[in-house]
Chains A and B, each alone.
Chain A
Amino acid sequence: MKLSLCAALLCLIAGHATAQGFAGLGSDAEGFAIPQSPAIFDFPTDHGAHPAYRIEWWYLTANLTGPDGTAYGAQWTLFRSALTPNDATGWEASQLWMAHAGLTTPDTHLSAERLARGGIGQAGVTTTPFAAWIDDWSMTSTAPATADALDALSIGAIGDGFAYDLSLTASGPLIFHGQAGYSVKSAQGQASYYYSQPFYDVAGSITLPGGTIPVTGTAWLDREWSSQPLSETQDGWDWVSLQFDDGARLMGFTLRDSARAPFTAATWIDADGTTQSYPDGALRMTPHATTQVAGRAIPTTWRIALPDRALDITATALNPQSWMDVSVAYWEGPVTITGTHQGRGYLEMTGYE
């Protein structure tokens, strides 16, 4: 039952299990709050959970390097999914929590999942001090009280055969996607609140079956919440977060649509944190090569172009088998960038059947 339940966890948004779009993300927002433009953020409160919205996540990806130069990737994600738009305590679960942890090496990819109900303390997010946790997995602020809570984080997770323990320090500001954090997801106007901290330097250790390895690197935290982020015909997305060697960063995604042309969006982030958002059509993401992963063909090399920034690169998966074998399975792993720009980043692909 467990698997089916978890598959259904995200379907809860729909209230019925006929999946519309990936994991049922494309359905109406009955009774829940809807993101509004202009977006007005209030920190540290907005670092915490928004129970009035149906879905929310704290999504961290890290590109890491070992002492011998081997590249690694780590993922720590906490999803919140609301059954009803309130925040009851005790067993009357109205908020369900799901967490994924992933650890990628050039030849292995390990993943784990945890589920919990809200209200009893097994999982949740607090803002002062900032902490997000489920069981013994956690993302805790280590920033001084005067700084933004997300400026420094300690994250840890333990799965079957792997673990990691990372310290993160931000070297730049929070950045806001779309219209100052109001991120439109379709031509029909579905949107979410979406901001990131893309400037983390990382130090820590990862544990693999072979032993514990000290690592350093960079990381990117995404915060996003909404009640209806996809339109009904959007059945998956391809998303990248890229860090170029010159210090600039790029967030871009393509929402694949079964009924019309794909919807794209991108945010260019200069090394100083200045951002420019690009509307639908500015970014072009083209699959370049596919790999058989978990019985399906998945593009693990992408041609990515943003003509406005004279960007034309190829993003290649560090490990094409970076398959998150969890209840709602998807591909998530580090990529290396070649072409007009060099660097590293993370690629996420959902909705490949």
Chain B
Amino acid sequence: MVYTALSTLFSHWRRHPGQLAMLVLGLALATALWSGVQAINTEARAAYADAAATLGQDRLDRLVRADGRPVPLADYIALRRAGYLVSPVISGELRAGDARLRLLGIDPLTAPPEANTPTLQGEDFNLAAFFTAPGLLLMTGATAAGPLPPDLPPIRTTESFPPGAALTDIGTAARLLGQSDPSYLLIWLDQPAHLPPLSTATNLQRVAPEQRADPAQLTESFHLNLTAFGLLAFAVGLFIVHAAIGLAFEQRRATIRTLRALGLPLRSLLTAFGLELAVLSLFAGLVGIILGYAIAAALMPGVAGTLRGLYGADLPGTLSFDPIWALAALAMTLAGAALAGAQAMGRTARMPILAPALPQAWHQASTRQMRRQAGVALALLSLSGTLALWGDSLILGFGAVACLFLGAALLLPITLSTLLRLAQRGARGPLGEWLLADTRQQLPGLSLALMALLLALSANIGVSTMVGSFRATFVGWLDQRLVAELYVTAQTEAEAARLVAYLTPRTEAVLPVVWADTTLAGRPGAVYGQADHPTFRDHWPLLAALPDAWDSLATGDGVLINEQLARFAGLSPGDSLTITPGVTLEILGIYSDYGNPEAQAIITDDLFAATFPDIAPTRFALRVAPTATAALASALRDDFGLPADAVINQTQIKRFSLEIFEQTFLITGALNLLTLGVAGFALLTGLLTLADMRLPQLAPVWALGITRARLARFELIRSLILAALTFVLALPVGLALAWMLLAVINVQAFGWRLPMQVFPADAGRLLALALLAACVAAALPALRLARISPSRLLKVFAHEA
């Protein structure tokens, strides 16, 4: 019986393959975007977990020097000789051009069991080769395939090691990095019971895993962002499915009634409906998972680039397939389809057998309902504002965004309705009046699709305003910060000395760039030594500063800190900061430092030399007359003999920085466009659903003397009006979103605040895009209307539709 019902129901799809395609495509799109985003998140989280678990770093405490410099070997030996179980690690990064490789040099003989270092055994694994020069590097096949610095020891591939990194013997790392003292010591969980506490035995600082910068934590906001986008897309996809199922229900009313009248029990009918939906969603879900995987795989390199650029987190550029992920996505599809189909099922269950088989507008949203929605919307918007202004965490920031979106969406129908009513007053002529009145009447049926469009447009405006503001600020900041014409790097201190001697007569100024990695307010960071020079005084914008900050800095009486440090540690000018044990300085000012996740402080070069006597500058910023820049650069390469990549001009750095920047927001742009596409599709399905139900509304107008072609044109215009009005509403929502992203989310997530700029050209482009989407969405229903046969219109008036 169920089979009979099912085959009867399915015959509908054979006759309406377009509708079937719409349903499947809608579900598939929803699944694809959602699961794609989830795939990326899963991959990234797995990478963070891998990275965190490397050498048991998620569980093991470390001993480090308070100033962030390497631990003297003698300190390590002293601890071992005293009986403490600690193990040395030498870590660092090898760079050559674009190629970079993080080295993790361990001592397998003393490594804690929790370190779980990859197995060193294998068929023909030569352990002696691991310990003795030239040594061995263990890395994943993907890392080995990527660009690597030259002159590396032999490579062996291993599984489950962080991308862009290699495990090696500490001796090999020491040789490659030119560092003989351990970077830090890993502390075994169990120490011999008879020993006094480790803290009494050493001056080194003990750092617990949770005190260290954790990429999973840093990137949480980014993934929350992706998830939000994914959910948005999924919701928009469900609009499509809802519309398709609703349409199918309307068109099958007669079939359903006949089946019931012929004695098919309601339960069998509902079972058949459920089965039908399950089969379709299963199929669509599978298609969606394939699509989602493809989307994720296509976006993955961009995401990896973004995360590296923003947070320094390393991700593989490729995607692995996780069956759990696929199952979760499928479950999400089924749940979504059930949600979208629930209404049609409920209506089927309630439909009396003898109900007239007339299509009815099934979204009966009355003015009262719109008012109620508006009330909820206003409450949500006030909540959003409250959260944005007074909330002080990332979650609350996203809460504010969610409330803004939901509130704006709920406010849409009544706002559109009001705008249309106002327009009606000014309308001239019967057709104009009718067009506006009819558009208004269509609102309930289209409001879901329009809400989807509103969300997509708002997100687009918000994100592009944010990215645009960021970009403009970043470019301005680069222009200000990168004033020196050339930047040169010496290989050794001796070469640096010769370089300075060579450059001094040939340049206006040779400004050393020198820094020490250290811990600032308990966070990893760097202290820079900077010469007192107009180059800096005139060009470094300070966000907040004490009077005469630059003068005080020049006399060594204070320190400038970056915005990230100020926000993280709650520091203001006038507070004091310890830059290395024993050296505490007054904070003179705060400067913006976009794109740098770490804390940073600047002191004068003299103070730097006194504080870090064993760090000599090997990098220099050169002030040269712009016309002489090229000649000096080639002279440095050809006459002085610096390698080509040791001389970089300002333009190169800017270009490189901007490339990183563009890469960073690649994924955002892609997701934006996809969401807008899905919203356009939702509008199309909404219009298609309404098209058949609208015949009773259009037929009288036609009968009274308007051609079908003209009616079709009106359909297009109506769609454009709705899109344009929605866009008008999306503008303030999008700008509010941009403000939240810049002033709330960014501050919480990255530690910097950006001035907001509005880009009318971008908005114009988006309006054009929205109208285009509306036009494309309305084109098919309009074309069908233009070609409808008069007899179909006339049927409306006849006894039986």
Contact = CB atoms under 8 A, between A and B. Distances in A.
B377 to A, nearest CB: 59
B77 interface: yes
Contact of A122 (B77, B117, B124): B77
Given A91-B174, A93-B131, A93-B132, A15 B126 contact: yes
A16 B110 contact: no
B175 interface: yes
A261 interface: no
A293 interface: no
B581 interface: no
A83 B131 CA distance: 8
B237 interface: no
Interface stretch (A57-65, A113-121, A334-342): A113-121
Nearest to B123: A17
A143 B77 CA distance: 26
A136 B128 contact: no
A304 B132 CA distance: 44
B125 A17 contact: yes
A16 B126 contact: yes
Contact of B171 (A4, A5, A84, A92): A92
A139 interface: no
Given A121-B77, A135-B81, A163-B194, A91 B171 contact: yes
A132 to B, nearest CB: 13
Interface string B128-163: 100111000000000000000000000000000000
Interface in B103-133: 107-111, 113, 116-121, 124-128, 131-133
B109 A115 contact: yes
A121 B175 CA distance: 18
A84 B131 CA distance: 10
A117 B126 contact: no
A158 B81 CA distance: 12
B109 A158 contact: no
Interface string A150-168: 0000000010100100000
Interface in B540-594: none
Nearest to A98: B109
Contact of B132 (A16, A83, A122, A133): A83
Interface residues of A, number: 30
Contact of A1 (B117, B128, B169): B117
Contacts of B127: 5, 8, 11-12, 17
Contact of A4 (B120, B131, B194): B120
Given A1-B117, A115-B109, A136-B83, A92 B77 contact: no
B80 A122 contact: yes
Contacts of B262: none
Contacts of A12: 127-128
A117 B107 contact: yes
B108 A5 contact: yes
A324 interface: no
Nearest to B174: A91
B121 A2 contact: no
A28 B573 CA distance: 71
Contact of A15 (B110, B128, B169): B128
Given A5-B120, A8-B121, A91-B171, 9 more contacts: A1-B111, A5-B109, A17-B127, A83-B131, A84-B132, A92-B171, A92-B175, A116-B109, A117-B109
29 contacts: A1-B116, A1-B119, A2-B113, A4-B119, A5-B121, A11-B127, A16-B124, A16-B126, A17-B121, A17-B127, A84-B128, A84-B132, A90-B174, A91-B90, A91-B175, A92-B133, A92-B171, A96-B131, A115-B109, A116-B109, A116-B110, A117-B109, A117-B171, A120-B73, A121-B77, A133-B81, A136-B82, A158-B192, A163-B194
Interface of B: 73, 76-77, 80-83, 90, 107-111, 113, 116-121, 124-128, 131-133, 169-171, 174-175, 180, 190, 192, 194
